Each structure stands twice: as structure tokens, then as C-alpha cells.
Amino acid sequence: MKLFDPHIHMTSRTTDDYEAMYQAGIRAIVEPAFWLGEPRTHIGTFEDYFLSLIGWERFRASQFGIKHLCTMGLNPKEANNPRLAEGVMELLPRYLEKDGVVAVGEIGYDDVTATEEKYLIAQIELARAHALPVLIHTPHRNKKAGTERTLAVIKESALDPGLFIIDHNNEETIAGTLDAGCWAGHSIYPGTKMDEGRMVALIQKYGQEKIIVNSAADWGKSDPLKVPKTTAKMREMGLSEDVIKTVCWDNPWEFFAQSGRIDITSIEQDLPIDQTQLHADNSVLRGQSPMVQDGSGAPAQP
């Protein structure tokens, strides 16, 4: 079964991860713009990161047969940095128009400050102006209160709640998210956030409509195979293939297709792989034989 990981920070991951993800069935990903661990000190590094999301990282994913889409936004942590925030807001209108940008995100609350709220509201307005859906990050601390406050801001915006994914949900927040009419994202993480068994239990309780599963893998201890591992748990716990496909393939496509920037008819065709291609003086290979595969499902040719 083809799988979609709609929240993963591949900039932080290796080519081994891409290979393992492809082998496990992942054919599409969304990489939300986020912080990079070390706080940025210059607006230029933000812009180079945006360019890398639509350039080098998209190319790298394509070399392993994975369609790479991204979201752009001012993340909640760095929204609190006045030396950067306004500069990023000035960049966004241009970058939100670029090919392969399918949402504003990830935006929302981290410490739940007034500054974070100001930029959350401003970026919801950007989403309206650019006709894009929105990927919302919910805080790791004070999650329930932060999620409720996010939902109140969304309601106040009068934008269709179906244009929002509220991400990193858990047992305490999912009902409120779905009741508000938003999509509910869940990040399956080793040790924190949500695990595979708890995720399946949520689907058994709430159904599959507007439910989304991702790995949110980044540079920390995380696992880029959590979507396929969750599908294995779904089978083990008796969910049907239809339900699994809805949650791990159809739902994320349906959500991001609201951008009007995805050709739904093209997604069933696997991407061709051609590792003889290069990008800006770089190959993903380091002396290995390039793999070429035509996208028909035929075995890879070294």
C-alpha cells in the first residue's frame, strides 16, 4: 500500500531514511517549515531554508521516488524573535506562491505568548489571501489549553475550519479538534506524543474521517517509519485495508488538495527515479552506481 507522511522534516534526515521510507511504501511527504534546533540569527538563513525546501530537498526526495511537498510559515518558536519575525512575514507572500507549497505552516503556539498569537492571526490572513490551507502546530506543554485557544482563534477568523489541520493531537485534544470541524493530525513518536497502539485506539473510537497520521520526524530522537509502523499496528488490531488507506493516503491528499496545487489524478503514478540527475553541483550519490527506475513499478536498475 502507498503511504503519505504529511509531516516530516527531511532536511534533518539521511538518504538511508529516504531509502527505508520508500521500501516501507512511503511515496509522498509534506515537509513543514520549522526551526532548525539552533535558533537563527539572520533572516537570510530563513530564506535559504525556504529555497532549500523547494529546491535541494525536493530533488533529494525525488531521487528516492518520493514526492516532496512543503509548507511555508513563521514557526511559533521564532515568532517570539522580533529581529526575525517581521522579516519572515515580508518573505512569505512571495514564497507561498511557489510551486509545491501546499499550505501555510507550521504555525501556532509554543509558549502561548501574545506575540505568537499576533503572528498566528497574521498568517491565517496570509492563508486566506493565498487560498491555502493551514498546518497548525500545537504546544508540547499546556497542550490542551493551547489547542483550545488555537481553535478559538480559528473560529474568530471565520475561515472554513476544514482548511486547518490541528497537529500533534492526543487523547485530550482530538474530540475538540474534530468538533470544531478541523482535521486532526497525530504525530507518532518514540516515547512521547502518540504511539501506534494509542493511535489505533483513537481511530477505533473516533472513526477515520479527517484523521491524519504522521511521524513529525526531525533531528531529534524520532522515527521516519512511524507511518508504516502505525499501519502495521492497524492491521494487527483489526482495522480494514480501506480504513488504513483512508487515514494514511487519501486523507492527507484530500486535505492538501484544498490548496488547488495538487493534480490528484497524477498521484497514483509512482515517480520515476533517476539518480544520474544532479542539482546545483550536488548528487545524492557519493561514488555509488546511480539507480534508474521508470515509475511503472518495475524493479530498480543500478
Query: Cβ of residue 170: shortest distance to other proteins, in angstroms?
Result: 35
> If binding is defined by CB under 8 A, does position 281 make contact with other proteins?
yes
Tell me the window of 5-13, 24-32, 48-56, 227-235 that interacts with other proteins (CB under 8 A).
48-56
Q: Of 12-20, 67-75, 178-186, 272-280, which part binds other proteins (CB under 8 A)?
A: 272-280
State the nearest-atom distance from the C-beta of 255 to other proteins, in Å.
18
Q: Cα 165 to the chain's mean position, in Å?
A: 10
Cβ at position 168, least distance to other proteins in Å: 29
Among 40, 98, 128, 198, binds other proteins (CB under 8 A): 98
d(CA 73, CA 203): 29
Residue 170, number of CB atoms within 10 A of its CB: 17
Least distance in Å: CB of 30 to other proteins? 16
The footprint of other proteins on residues 153-212 (CB under 8 A) is none
Q: Does 145 bind other proteins (CB under 8 A)?
A: no
Q: Which of 42, 83, 94, 235 binds other proteins (CB under 8 A)?
A: 94
| Alpha-carbon span 14 to 130, nearest angstrom | 32
Q: Where are the beta strands (DSSP E) in the chain?
A: 3-5, 26-32, 67-72, 101-108, 134-137, 164-166, 183-187, 211-214, 273-274, 292-293
The residue behind cell 540569527 is 41
CA distance 75 to 128: 18
Q: Does 144 bind other proteins (CB under 8 A)?
A: no
Please identify, among the stretches 46-54, 78-86, 135-143, 217-225, the one whose residues bind other proteins according to the rule CB under 8 A.
46-54
Q: Can you say whether the dihedral through the CA atoms of 249, 127, 73, 170 is positive or negative?
A: negative
Q: Does 282 bind other proteins (CB under 8 A)?
A: yes
Grid coordinates representing 132? 491555502
Contact residues for other proteins, defined by CB under 8 A: 47, 51, 54-55, 94-95, 97-99, 261, 276-283
